[in-house]
Amino acid sequence: MIRPRSRQIASADDGSAVLGAITSAVVLLMMLLAATTCADLLAARQRAAAAADVSALAAVPDAVLAPDEACNRARDIAERNDARVVSCEVQNADVVVRAASSPRTHWARWVALLVGDSTDPTVVARAGMSDPTAQ
């Protein structure tokens, strides 16, 4: 004896678990993208800060003995620290270095451009032997 097929009526919530899972996955991926973008921007800022500090400190002896060579030394040290010198000034025995470092991901560059006026975080460092209160 052959039984007739029973027709199942689709309920209103069929497939809602799949929709919820897809939505959750998309939200999780967006949060992961935001976290990695922020981490990349912070790492670029830290690289720029470290490069500016070390460059300014390394250029101080040259600022005293050969002021023309101080900024060249600062540029060399910044390049070794994965950054670049945006500006360098020798004032008396002080060296003021402005260094920048690029984020590694394109997303972070786009976010930085949307939020600020530049894609690269920039940091200023000052080092020298003069007394800052004497000015």
Among left, alpha and beta (phi > 0; psi -120 to 50; other), residue 27 is: alpha
Q: 54 near 90, Cβ under 8 Å? A: no
Q: Is the model more confident about 55 or about 16?
A: 55
* Band of pLDDT at residue 12, cut at 50, 70 and 90: low
pLDDT, position 134: 54
Domain covering 16-134 assigned CATH 3.30.1300 in the classification: yes
Q: 106 near 134, Cβ under 8 Å? A: no
What do you get for the CA distance between the two ends of the chain, in Å?
Answer: 106
pLDDT tens column, 19-53: 889 999 999 999 999 999 889 999 999 999 999 99
Taking the domains of the chain in order of start, what are their residue ranges?
16-134
Q: 54 near 77, Cβ under 8 Å? A: yes
* Report field, pTM of the whole predicted structure over 0.85: no
The rounded distance, in Å, linking the Cα atoms of 76 and 64 is 18
The rounded distance, in Å, linking the Cα atoms of 94 and 129 is 6
pLDDT, position 66: 85
pLDDT tens column, 87-123: 999 988 899 999 999 998 888 888 888 887 677 889 9
